[in-house]
Amino acid sequence: MKLELSSFVGQPCRSRIAYEFVPKKDYGLDMGKTARLLRSREVFVEIETPYLLMLKLGGHDVSLFKSGKIIVKSTNHEGEARRIAKRLVEKAGD
């Protein structure tokens, strides 16, 4: 399944310094397959569960959920977070 950032709504996270991108529909990602693909594309997968991947991407901590939700940590700046999320979406694409 191909992720497209245009199908996400971006907003600052309310509970921490982070920016989240919530998909307009649930992607139901296969987290094992997604983790293997990301590793093959030089993304460090720090934690892998059936519902969540915690990643390091270009020095940034990023969480990717089974639904497709993306949280870019340590920034509230939309432009920076969007660049990081776009890079993740490109690397996670089939």
pLDDT band at 10; cut points 50, 70, 90:
confident
* Proportion of the chain above pLDDT 70, given as a percent: 91
Lowest mean pLDDT: which of 9-13, 25-29, 33-37, 77-81?
A: 9-13
pLDDT at 50: 96
Q: Residue 65: which residues within 8 A CB-CB, separation 6 or more?
A: 29, 51, 52, 71
The span from the CA of 93 to the CA of 37, in Å, is 9
> Rounded to two decimals, what is the model's pTM?
0.87
Residue 72, classed as helix, strand or coil, is: strand
φ, ψ of residue 42 to 5 degrees: the values are 65, 35
Q: Which fold has domain 5-92?
A: TATA-Binding Protein (3.30.310)
